[in-house]
Amino acid sequence: MISIKTFDTLVVGAGIAGLQTALDLGDQGYKVAVLEKDPSIGGKMIRLSKVFPTLDCASCITTPKMSSAAHHKNITLFTYCSLRALNRDGRGVKASVVQNARYVDTEKCIGCRKCEYACPVYVEDKEQGGFSGKKAISIPFSNAIPQLPVLDTDHCMLCGRCEKVCPTDAIDYLQEPGEFEIQAKTAVVTTGFELLPKEENVPFGKGRIPNVIDSLQMERLLAPHGPYNRVLRPSDGMEPDSIAYVQCAGSRDRQMGVSYCSRVCCMYAIKQAMLLSGSLPLADITIYYMDIRAFGKGYEQFYQNAKAMGIEFVKAKVGRIDAGEKGQALVRFERQDGSGIDTAGHDLVVLSMGMVPGWDPAGICPVSKDTDRFITSIKPKTSPVLTDMDCIFTAGAAAGPKDIVDTITESGSAAVEAAKFMSNSRTKESL
Ligand SMILES: Cc1cc2nc3c(=O)[nH]c(=O)nc-3n(C[C@H](O)[C@H](O)[C@H](O)COP(=O)(O)OP(=O)(O)OC[C@H]3O[C@@H](n4cnc5c(N)ncnc54)[C@H](O)[C@@H]3O)c2cc1C
């Protein structure tokens, strides 16, 4: 028998957009279910180092929101869940959900990490950009919510050490995925974005050239709880003397299938370059760019500050990157002032990869996508959170690339539209 859980709103995706929407609705008294596919809430923002344009610490802003959502009396979090179907049902929506197996009894686990310490198997830690290892049973990252481990069945040797040390007998090697349904009056899709994988970028080495990394990996190198606690070159642990950013690596590029501008790459590259010049004051930092799009409040000043700090901006289109000697990457670029083609060697190269949708609704939910594959907004100017399904709203990067400021604003708007929809339905019912 599949259990049915009833809420006012289902929020799909617990990045900053989903958390803000849930908090805005929860504070008004609505009962909100938040569904997240990852083992922890927080989305990309909890994985960032600092945020432009204020250079605030990202986890100092995100952790309180995560914790407020987790402790809110009107919000229920469902993490490590897969959304199988989301459809209209009568006046609301019905979602079919699979609770993936953590192989840990979440009722019994107290988050003590004894299982993690006892586990003898190290696996690649994707949360740290793949630069360091973690145990085959582990809590995803230090400030994850919930503080519950997941066992990686691809690498576990079933040695039994985690089971032996667990003080509450929470390890369950035979745990099966569970199924349940969520019935709600409205849903908000906040499934965010992913970076285009660098493995798809043939001219830039398909992710196989040492020391060519993507921008989210650089966020981890710069983060206070990063893999090395300082910025080191991944191939040999050297402190890089020369770091380059390649802008529009995947965006504004029809060959890569991303013809649009990803909007935040100019600003995050400038931010990262400023942070790098703080941690590696002697390093040369170059940004190869086509145009700088510093569109938000205070953003142009931020760009001017970076120039004043000595970061070199080279207006050029990078055509290819090859492996050079001593771990360097050779960047071949054409200057936009017509002065020709050059090649420069850098110790570390960061690709500002394009942003693509974090979720494809095809076969799961009949909500429409645009030609860019992000969720369609039927009133992009007057109410960008409205989709073509009247009880389903969207916010944040699920509807298109955007920065945190715009994401937060849209999340508030989605909460208002969802609340309006619920109050209108109530009025119709009482007539
Ligand atoms: C390298 C980099 C640096 C950046 N730096 C800054 C900065 O300094 N300042 C700034 O303003 N912006 C910055 N940004 C942009 C910022 O990351 C986004 O604005 C923000 O993360 C958008 O939040 P979101 O909640 O919409 O999406 P996300 O953060 O992507 O969250 C979406 C969530 O939905 C979940 N999800 C996806 N599909 C499903 C599904 N089917 N079911 C359940 N859950 C699902 C995901 O797991 C994720 O948790 C940066 C972006 C990058 C790439």
Query: How many angstroms separate the CA atoms of 351 and 335, rounded?
Result: 18
Q: Which of 21, 23, 44, 270 to mutate to test the pocket of ligand 1 (most atoms within 8 A of CB)?
A: 44
What residues flank ligand 1, with Cβ below 6 Å? 12-18, 35-38, 43-45, 48, 51-52, 83, 190-193, 195, 215-216, 219, 264, 268, 271, 358-359, 396-398, 402-405, 407
Going by pLDDT thresholds of 50, 70 and 90, the confidence category of residue 8 is very high
Distances (CA, A) of 431 to 89, 282, 298, 420, 426: 21, 72, 50, 17, 9
Between the CA of 4 and the centroid of ligand 1 the distance, in Å, is 29
- The reported pLDDT for the residue numbered 385 is 98
What is the pTM assigned to this prediction?
0.97
- The answer to whether 291 touches 303, Cβ cutoff 8 Å, is no
Cβ neighbourhood burial of 226 (10 Å; 0-12, 13-18, 19+): buried
Three-state secondary-structure class, residue 149? coil
Structure tokens at 348: 């570390």
Q: Which ligand 1 atom lies nearest to the CA of residue 58?
A: 8
Q: Which ligand 1 atom lies nearest to the CA of residue 271?
A: 8
| Domains of the chain (ranges, CATH numbers) | 3-99+177-192+358-430 (3.50.50.60), 101-174 (3.30.70.20), 197-355 (3.50.50.60)
pLDDT in tens, 139-167: 999 999 999 999 999 999 999 999 999 99
Q: Which of 11, 46, 191 to mutate to test the pocket of ligand 1 (most atoms within 8 A of CB)?
A: 191
pLDDT in tens, 46-66: 999 999 999 999 999 999 999
- The answer to whether 233 touches 239, Cβ cutoff 8 Å, is yes
Task: Tabulate helix, strand, coil % of the chain (nearest 5).
Answer: 25, 30, 45
- The reported pLDDT for the residue numbered 247 is 97
Query: How many angstroms separate the CA atoms of 178 and 72, rounded?
Result: 25
Choose among 276, 338, 286: nearest CA to 307. 286
The torsion angle over the Cα atoms of residues 277, 280, 281 and 282, rounded to 10 degrees, is: -120
pLDDT of 28 over the 80 cut: yes
Can you tell me which residue has the tokens 């020369």?
242
Going by pLDDT thresholds of 50, 70 and 90, the confidence category of residue 398 is very high
Residue 25 sits at φ, ψ, to 5 deg, of -80, -40
pLDDT of 83 over the 80 cut: yes
- The answer to whether 200 touches 22, Cβ cutoff 8 Å, is no
pLDDT in tens, 331-379: 999 999 999 999 999 999 999 999 999 999 999 999 999 999 999 999 9
pLDDT of 429 over the 80 cut: no
- The answer to whether 322 touches 205, Cβ cutoff 8 Å, is yes
Q: Which of 12, 20, 21, 45 to mutate to test the pocket of ligand 1 (most atoms within 8 A of CB)?
A: 45
pLDDT in tens, 223-257: 998 999 999 999 999 999 999 999 999 888 888 77
Can you tell me which residue has the tokens 């009247």?
390
pLDDT of 91 over the 80 cut: no
- The answer to whether 365 touches 398, Cβ cutoff 8 Å, is no
Least confident window among 187-201, 243-257, 322-336: 243-257
Cβ neighbourhood burial of 90 (10 Å; 0-12, 13-18, 19+): exposed
pLDDT in tens, 262-291: 999 999 999 999 999 999 999 999 999 999
- The reported pLDDT for the residue numbered 430 is 73
Can you tell me which residue has the tokens 């994707």?
126
For the chain, give the percent of residues with pLDDT over 70: 100
* Rounded to 5°, angle at Cα 412 from 408 and 417: 145
